[in-house]
């Protein structure tokens, strides 16, 4: 790679990684090509990106960026998975893949501009997604209203139940109508 190609590669890395609010630095030594292909597919489905990075170029590209705090983790075979807005989704994809492929190792990460350790990445992957949290929140908001509606409907429901029981008792205790003469 000549000097001009390196400058282009660094500029490209800076552009793609610079806009990423969430980035996971990964070690991938020993992963086979079909496994990497599957990982890339899963990451792409989560609207994220995955790049294998040459460490020297990466260190130049992250200067002055949020990823610079992770400089010491750019050793050995390194890849970066990143996105702009969904850290939990990406963490879940990577953690699920790492469970079946122990060759994928978390080194560190930046989540919403804050550096976290590899152990915190697994905790992040166990968190519910934004959509799950919103659905839980809506359920909690609706719960008091549902309870209030049930309480307000209770007396009316009980009155209808009592009236129907009274009507049944009257029907059972009423004498049968006499048969018509000559029948």
pLDDT tens, N- to C-terminus, the chain (183 residues)? 778 888 888 888 888 877 678 889 999 888 889 999 999 999 999 898 898 888 888 888 888 777 788 888 888 888 999 888 888 888 889 999 988 888 888 888 888 888 888 888 888 888 887 788 888 888 888 888 788 788 888 888 888 888 888 888 888 886 655 656 655
Distance CA 89, CA 93 (A): 6
DSSP structure class, residue 70 = G
Residues 93 and 19 in one domain: yes
List residues bridging with 111 in a β-sheet.
22, 114
Residues 103 and 39 in one domain: yes
Rg, C-alpha atoms of the chain:
32
In a domain, 182, yes or no: no
Residues 95 and 11 in one domain: yes
Residues 70 and 37 in one domain: yes
Pairing relation of β-strands 22-27 and 105-111? antiparallel
In a domain, 71, yes or no: yes
pTM assigned to the model: 0.66
């Amino acid at each position: 790679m000549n000097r001009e190609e390196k400058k282009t590669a660094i500029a490209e890395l800076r552009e793609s990684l610079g806009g990423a609010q969430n980035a996971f630095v990964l070690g991938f030594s020993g992963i086979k090509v079909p496994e990497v292909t599957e990982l890339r597919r899963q990451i792409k489905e989560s609207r994220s990106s995955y790049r294998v990075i040459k460490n020297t170029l990466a260190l130049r590209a992250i200067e002055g960026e949020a990823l610079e705090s992770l400089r010491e983790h750019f050793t050995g075979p390194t890849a970066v998975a990143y996105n702009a807005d969904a850290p939990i989704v990406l963490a879940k994809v990577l953690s699920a893949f790492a469970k079946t492929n122990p060759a994928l190792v978390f080194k560190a990460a930046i989540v919403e501009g804050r550096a976290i350790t590899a152990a915190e990445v697994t905790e992040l992957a166990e968190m519910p997604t934004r959509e799950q949290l919103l659905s839980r929140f809506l359920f909690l908001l609706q719960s008091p209203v549902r309870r209030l509606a049930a309480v307000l409907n209770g007396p009316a429901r009980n009155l209808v139940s009592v009236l129907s029981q009274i009507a049944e008792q009257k029907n059972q205790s009423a004498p049968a109508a006499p048969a018509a003469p000559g029948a």
